[in-house]
């Protein structure tokens, strides 16, 4: 296709005909966390993760060996045994060196996994969004979606980069130390574990408070991002109506809301640090107290108690790390939940299992008793039937909101109809693949959308493999070549966002040229000549005439003069085709079309309606 999606409807009018999507079902924290970790450690990453785990286990073993080696060195020193003291000390130094080397490579491997995980999640989200139907974008404001793509993915990326490696190290360290501690002395192990239930209970209680706060924070960030995107895009309206102060005050209110919620969320999560630190100190005191009593009773020596105190400290450290990562983890869960809500969405328009590629055979279009609704139970189009013969120009007119753009939206199958059938060259479009159908339909919208890229690349966007020569030829056909060559770098001139450095007419001529590059067999023009001056409109009309030549074309117009020469005009009111036929026939009926036409020309010259009629006859 030559352009992006056709006009969308307000979110209040669009809820798409679909059942509740999977995204609306609540996922527990464990499920969200598991899915996040899967992007970093699952799939093709498993072998790399296995290597990272081997390095991590080796480094933890070296770390745990150091208290034992140090305890033996103390015993040797107490017994005044020089050679054993020297041997145990050297062994401890070697263990320390191995720990540093293995830890370095483990962290490096986990950093690679984190980067890969972030990239896979980001690519997965963006790619999945490209597969969703237009109704999804109708229901979700652009600012909200950008917040999920940016803020929520950033929360997940921080979790990958900061938390996963430390959590894995902590779990491995806890498991190995627990085994060693039990083997060394089970009584001291029980003493060391007294604080664990208290720590887990405190962690659970704090998470019960912080998790909803983090979810709320991400939602408030979405509202803030949405407002920022909307006000920046509409800055001309703000300036024109002198609403900059209002925008600043509203932004401040939204930012304050984010600050308040974030303060509660992070304060609750960060309480974990002082609480965990205090409990670890208590743990050390308990171990030393119990160990001291056992030394006095002759059950242990000083070196063993020292080694065990080291084990206890090594046990408390990973538990503290896990607790202190609560804020990062909870924020990632909140962001991940919102990301997965999108990734669990399914397109409402899908290819049938037996769908076949559309075969163009001339461009005969037939609507057969078509009904359609954006919201189930509220019909927008009712019992619409018409035919367009190959190569004909079909005009669509009617009051605002009558359903003109909706007819185009279902012709291009942006939405599926409720009942009836739409056939092109005898093929039901519901049974054709979407790609093959849209490849044959070119769309030129009222709003000319250009990407932040060169003029040439904007033209090539229409069709993969298009050459420079084809694009230049299309620009000449669209009357765009002359002004393009007058740009600073010609076809290599970089367009600013949405082509803001061009006039409205120039942007429209480029989109017409882009449609020509696409070489569509069927054409849709949606108010393509509105809001331009008379001279530019003439150039655009010449380009459109060349584009429509020999193609079945559908032209939506408020200015009825632009569709007077149509082979057939569809007059739409309240979702129904109330009249159809050529201009002269509809005027002779003096029905709804006649009223629309005369209301546009009335008062153009002295004499009121009669003057309008005279102008019509003259034109």
Residue labelled with tokens 């020089």: 82
Q: Is there a domain that residue 248 lies in? A: yes
Q: Using only C-alpha atoms, what is the Rg of the chain?
A: 35
Task: Identify the domain containing residue 231 by its residue range.
Answer: 28-343
Give kind and range of the element (H or E) at residue 236: helix 235-240
Assigned token pair, 304:
């063993």
Q: What is the arithmetic mean of pLDDT over 183-206?
A: 74
Read out DSSP for 421-487? EEEETTEEGGGB-HHHHHTTEEEE-SS----SSBHHHHHHTTSTT--HHHHHHHHHHTT-HHHHHTS
Q: What is the arithmetic mean of pLDDT over 76-92?
A: 77
Average pLDDT of the residues of the chain: 80
| Whole-angstrom distance, CA of residue 417 vs CA of residue 430 | 9
| Whole-angstrom distance, CA of residue 76 vs CA of residue 207 | 47
DSSP state of 113: H
Confidence class of residue 548 from pLDDT cuts 50, 70 and 90?
Answer: confident
**C-alpha angle 349/355/357, rounded to 5°?**
105
Q: What is the arithmetic mean of pLDDT over 462-473?
A: 89
Give kind and range of the element (H or E) at residue 366: strand 365-372
CA distances for 33 relative to 293, 319, 519, angstroms: 44, 19, 47
pLDDT over 90 percentage in the chain: 18
Strand-pair partners of 569: 395, 581
pLDDT greater than 60 at residue 496: yes
The CATH number of residue 93's host domain is 1.20.1560.10
Q: Are 230 and 143 in contact (CB under 8 A)?
A: yes
Confidence class of residue 325 from pLDDT cuts 50, 70 and 90?
Answer: confident
Say whether 387 sits in a helix, a strand or coil. strand
Assigned token pair, 385:
């039937």
pTM value? 0.69
Q: Is there a domain that residue 454 lies in? A: no
Q: Are 195 and 286 in contact (CB under 8 A)?
A: yes
pLDDT greater than 90 at residue 10: no
Residue 132 or 208, more confident: 132
Say whether 210 sits in a helix, a strand or coil. helix
Count the residues in the chain. 619
Confidence class of residue 235 from pLDDT cuts 50, 70 and 90?
Answer: low
Residue 27 or 367, more confident: 367
User: Hey, what long-range contacts does 94-101 have (CB within 8 A, 24 or more apart)?
Assistant: 95/62, 95/63, 95/65, 95/66, 95/69, 96/62, 96/66, 98/58, 98/59, 98/62, 99/59, 99/62, 99/63, 99/66
pLDDT greater than 70 at residue 506: yes
Confidence class of residue 258 from pLDDT cuts 50, 70 and 90?
Answer: confident
Q: Is there a domain that residue 203 lies in? A: yes
Q: Is there a domain that residue 556 lies in? A: no
**C-alpha angle 407/408/414, rounded to 5°?**
105
Assigned token pair, 399:
């009051």
Confidence class of residue 423 from pLDDT cuts 50, 70 and 90?
Answer: very high
Which of 149-158, 273-282, 461-470 has the weakest average pLDDT?
273-282
Max CA separation in the chain (angstroms) = 123
Q: Is there a domain that residue 470 lies in? A: no
pLDDT greater than 90 at residue 202: no
pLDDT greater than 70 at residue 140: yes
Say whether 388 sits in a helix, a strand or coil. strand
* Per-residue confidence (pLDDT) for residue 509, from 0 to 100: 86
* Per-residue confidence (pLDDT) for residue 207, from 0 to 100: 67
Assigned token pair, 208:
């019960």
Nearest of 211, 220, 208 to residue 258 by alpha carbon:
220
* Per-residue confidence (pLDDT) for residue 602, from 0 to 100: 63
| Whole-angstrom distance, CA of residue 591 vs CA of residue 575 | 17
* Per-residue confidence (pLDDT) for residue 293, from 0 to 100: 80
Assigned token pair, 407:
């007819």
Helices (H) and strands (E) in the chain, counts: 24, 10
pLDDT greater than 50 at residue 13: no
| Whole-angstrom distance, CA of residue 136 vs CA of residue 125 | 14
**Crossing angle (nearest 10°) for helices 46-78 and 82-131:** 160
Q: Are 165 and 188 in contact (CB under 8 A)?
A: no
Q: Is there a domain that residue 97 lies in? A: yes
Q: What is the pLDDT of residues 373-419, one digit of tens each?
A: 988 888 889 999 999 999 999 999 988 888 888 998 899 999 999 99
What is the total count of domains within the chain? Answer: 1
Residue labelled with tokens 């001279």: 535
Torsion angle of the four alpha carbons 341, 343, 344, 349, in this order, in degrees rounded to the nearest 10? 120
Q: Is there a domain that residue 135 lies in? A: yes
Q: Are 62 and 91 in contact (CB under 8 A)?
A: no
Dihedral sign from CA coordinates of 169, 175, 178, 179: negative
Confidence class of residue 604 from pLDDT cuts 50, 70 and 90?
Answer: very low
Which of 46-50, 70-74, 88-92, 270-274 has maximum average pLDDT?
46-50
Q: Is there a domain that residue 487 lies in? A: no
């Amino acid at each position: 296709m030559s352009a992006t999606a056709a006009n969308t409807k307000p979110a209040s009018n669009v809820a798409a005909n679909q059942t509740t999507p999977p995204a609306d079902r609540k996922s527990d924290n464990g499920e969200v966390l598991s899915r996040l970790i899967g992007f970093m450690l699952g799939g093709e990453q498993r072998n790399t993760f296995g290597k990272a785990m081997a390095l991590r286990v080796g480094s933890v073993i070296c770390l745990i060996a150091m208290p034992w080696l140090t305890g033996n060195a103390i015993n040797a020193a107490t017994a005044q045994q020089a050679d054993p003291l020297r041997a145990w000390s050297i062994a401890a130094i070697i263990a320390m060196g191995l720990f540093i080397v293995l830890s370095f490579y483990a962290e490096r491997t986990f950093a690679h996994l984190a980067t890969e995980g972030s990239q896979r999640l980001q690519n997965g989200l963006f790619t999945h969004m490209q597969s969703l139907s237009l109704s999804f974008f109708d229901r979700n404001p652009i600012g909200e979606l950008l917040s999920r793509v940016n803020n929520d993915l950033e929360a997940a990326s921080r979790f990958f980069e900061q938390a996963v490696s430390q959590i894995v190290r902590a779990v491995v360290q806890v498991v190995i130390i627990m085994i060693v501690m039990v083997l060394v002395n089970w009584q001291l192990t029980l003493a060391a574990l007294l604080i664990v239930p208290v720590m887990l209970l405190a962690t659970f209680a704090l998470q019960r408070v912080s998790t909803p706060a983090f979810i709320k924070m991400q939602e408030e960030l979405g509202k803030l991002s949405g407002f920022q995107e909307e006000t920046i895009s509409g800055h001309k309206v703000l300036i024109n109506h002198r609403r900059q102060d209002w925008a600043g005050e509203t932004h401040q209110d939204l930012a304050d809301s984010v600050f308040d919620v974030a303060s509660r969320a992070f304060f609750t999560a960060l309480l974990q640090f002082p609480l965990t630190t205090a409990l670890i100190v208590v743990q050390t005191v308990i171990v030393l107290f119990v160990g001291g009593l056992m030394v006095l009773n002759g059950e242990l020596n000083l070196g063993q108690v020292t080694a065990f105190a080291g084990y206890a400290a090594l046990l408390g450290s990973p538990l503290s790390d896990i607790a202190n990562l609560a804020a990062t983890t909870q924020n990632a869960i909140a962001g991940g939940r919102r990301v997965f809500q999108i990734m669990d969405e399914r397109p409402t328009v899908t290819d049938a299992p037996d769908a076949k590629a559309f075969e163009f055979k001339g461009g005969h279009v037939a609507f057969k008793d078509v009904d359609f609704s954006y919201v189930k139970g509220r019909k927008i189009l009712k019992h619409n039937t018409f035919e367009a013969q190959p190569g004909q120009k079909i005009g669509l007119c009617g009051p605002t909101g009558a359903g003109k753009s909706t007819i185009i939206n279902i012709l291009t199958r942006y939405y599926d109809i409720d009942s009836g059938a739409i056939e092109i060259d005898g093929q039901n479009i519901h049974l054709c693949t979407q790609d093959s159908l849209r490849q044959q339909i070119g769309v030129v919208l009222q709003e000319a959308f250009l990407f932040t890229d060169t003029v040439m690349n904007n033209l090539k966007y229409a069709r993969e493999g298009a050459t420079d020569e084809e694009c230049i030829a299309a620009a000449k056909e669209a009357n765009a070549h002359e002004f393009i060559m007058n740009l600073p770098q010609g076809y290599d001139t970089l367009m600013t966002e949405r082509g803001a450095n061009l006039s409205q007419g120039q942007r429209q001529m480029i989109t017409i040229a882009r449609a020509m590059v696409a070489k569509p067999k069927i054409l849709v023009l949606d108010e393509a000549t509105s809001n331009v001056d008379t001279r530019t409109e003439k150039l655009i009309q010449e380009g459109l005439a060349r584009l429509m030549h020999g193609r079945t074309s559908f032209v939506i117009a408020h200015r009825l003069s632009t569709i007077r020469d149509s082979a057939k005009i569809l007059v739409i009111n309240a979702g129904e085709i109330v009249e159809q036929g050529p201009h002269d026939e509809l005027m002779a009926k003096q029905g709804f079309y006649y009223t629309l036409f005369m209301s546009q020309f009335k008062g153009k010259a002295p004499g009121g309606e009669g003057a309008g009629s005279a102008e019509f006859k003259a034109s």
